[in-house]
Structure 1
Amino acid sequence: MDKELRALGLEDKEVKIYLACLANDASTPTQVAKLTGLKRATVYFYLERLKEKRLIEWEVHKARKHISPIPPHKGLKRYIAKKQEEVNRSENLVKQLLTHIEKVAHEKTSGSKVYHYEGEEGIRFAIDKLLSSRKVIYWIGSMELFIAAVGGEEEWHKMFTVRRLELGTVTRGITDRRILKYPRFSEMKDGRRNFRFLKEDFDIPALLGIFGDSICFFSLQKKEARVVLIENALMAQMLKFFFDSLWASLPEE
């Protein structure tokens, strides 16, 4: 019987204590210690383990524990059922872990990166990414968002327009006609800058930029600029498709 109990996962001392409890119904930890030759502290420890495994129960009378072993045909079935529950939980955890690992591996191989910034630092970071890519910049939104976020027309001109002109970066924007109030930002020269205009003003305090394999979202909430930049080729291709569709639907000036 010892061998079979060990095969079920019980440790040597657990087997010894469990068999002692079966042989001496309603015994106390002190009696179990005498029968097994184990220290009382050790007996208490393994009695807790056996109780967790649903093989024994106890009651306390006058500050003493009186052990009641559960009949083996019932106790061992409960023990096996508990082990099966643990196996099922482990299997579910493994499935979740594998799903997570596969997701991480996919993200790693796809080279996706996400950046999140707030304030002027975020705008400067995004501008550096936009211009250093040396790709055509496609954008949808209101230029007034940037002008307000950086503190005025002059600051935006220094931060973006001057550098863009030096690099010869091409931009294509879908916006409203309020941009025409700013000649430095709305003149269409040499094919380096072009616009298509929406019928209504774009009053949402947000802007979407697409360049190369990246997309960038800008927003202004409670006068605080927020930037989320995602480097993901598939996302960029999808949004570029939507941009091209909208661009084609708007009249050319």
Structure 2
Amino acid sequence: MLLENLINYGLSDKEAKVYLAALELNESSAQDIAKLAKINRATVYVIIESLVRNGLISIVRRGKKSMYLAANPNKMIELLEQQKAKIAAKVDEVRSVLPELETIYNYSPSKPRIRYFEGLAGLQELYRDTLKTNQTIYSFDPVHEGMSKALLKWLGEEYVPERIKKEIDIKVICPHFQQPSTARFIEESKKLRRELRLVPADKFPFTIEIEVYGSKVAIISYDVKEMFGVIIESEAVHKTMKCIFDLSWEGATKYQENN
């Protein structure tokens, strides 16, 4: 258990064994440490040098002979506090130049920015991005039965409540598949700030979700067998896809009487 704790602290397996051996032996020779740690002596010398650099072992001179003494275990807390202070300083430093860096990141005169996402965590990150602009989202959403259950749960419990909290409306064009997931989607729409227009699934059986928002377009495959997504950040692509959505939204009007 102690060995595992030391490895979690950041030591390698052999470093942890050497430190524990030195701790148990108190002031001791490399040979004694090697014997107790069950690591060959040549390797122990290399590991001791590493632990000395990290402040976890100190060298004690006894005449011409070098002995080794493990630092008090409290030293690890002290070292972690030092690392914490250094990280905090780095965070502050990055934070101070963040506005400048974001200006460079956001400046794209002609070249679009494309990002790829994969798996559950990737799609969660993608969906979170759609809430950054606080503007209406325009969506083509197939709402099909093959959707990952874990993603569906996360959308219902975290994403949608966050969207509602931010007062972000969404307009959705959805193929009217005769399935439970579509029925639930229709039933819940009004209370979830979601305006919905259904189109015949036999004429428009799309299975990929498209989100048009901000200056971006997200393309999402949330099928459990193929979970990936792409965000394209481009004014031209966004403008074109928004026109396509508006045209589709207007065209979907004629199907509403039958739904």
TM-score with structure 1 setting the length: 0.50
Matched, 1:247 2:246: no
User: Residues 1-253 of structure 1: matches in 2 within 5 Å?
Assistant: 108-110=108-110, 112-144=112-144, 148-151=147-150, 153-178=152-177, 180-182=182-184, 186-189=188-191, 192-200=193-201, 203-220=205-222, 223-251=225-253, 252=256
Alpha carbons of 1:217 and 1:153: their partners in 2 closer, same or farther (altered >3 Å)?
A: closer
Residue of structure 2 in register with 1:95 after alignment: none
CA contact (8 A) 1:136 1:172 kept: yes
Q: Which amino acid aligns with 1:188?
A: K
Alpha carbons of 1:200 and 1:120: their partners in 2 closer, same or farther (altered >3 Å)?
A: same
Per-residue CA shift, 1:180-226, capped at 9, x if unaligned? 42158732248x31011111255443111100210000114661311
Alpha carbons of 1:150 and 1:176: their partners in 2 closer, same or farther (altered >3 Å)?
A: same
Name the SS for the 1:215 alignment partner.
Answer: strand
Residue 118 of structure 1 and its aligned partner are, at CA, apart by 0.7
Identity among equivalent pairs (%): 19
Q: Which amino acid aligns with 2:156?
A: H
TM-score with structure 2 setting the length: 0.49
Q: Which amino acid aligns with 2:154?
A: E
Alpha carbons of 1:183 and 1:115: their partners in 2 closer, same or farther (altered >3 Å)?
A: closer
Bigger Rg over Cα: 1
CA contact (8 A) 2:116 2:231 kept: yes
Q: What number of residue pairs does the alignment pair up?
A: 145
Cα distance in 1, alignment partners of residues 126 and 213 from structure 2: 11
Q: Which amino acid aligns with 1:240?
A: K
Cα distance in 1, alignment partners of residues 251 and 135 from structure 2: 23
Ranges in structure 1 where 5+ consecutive residues have no aligned partner: 1-106
Per-residue CA shift, 1:21-67, capped at 9, x if unaligned? xxxxxxxxxxxxxxxxxxxxxxxxxxxxxxxxxxxxxxxxxxxxxxx
Alpha carbons of 1:213 and 1:168: their partners in 2 closer, same or farther (altered >3 Å)?
A: same
Cα distance in 2, alignment partners of residues 233 and 156 from structure 1: 27
Per-residue CA shift, 1:140-191, capped at 9, x if unaligned? 131237x72352643320132111111111100000234542158732248x
Ranges in structure 2 where 5+ consecutive residues have no aligned partner: 1-106
Per-residue CA shift, 1:225-245, capped at 9, x if unaligned? 110001101100001101101
Residue of structure 1 in register with 2:73 after alignment: none
Stretches (4+) displaced over 6 A? none
CA RMSD of aligned residues (A): 2.7
CA contact (8 A) 2:133 2:213 kept: yes
Per-residue CA shift, 1:108-141, capped at 9, x if unaligned? 4236211001101221111111011111111113
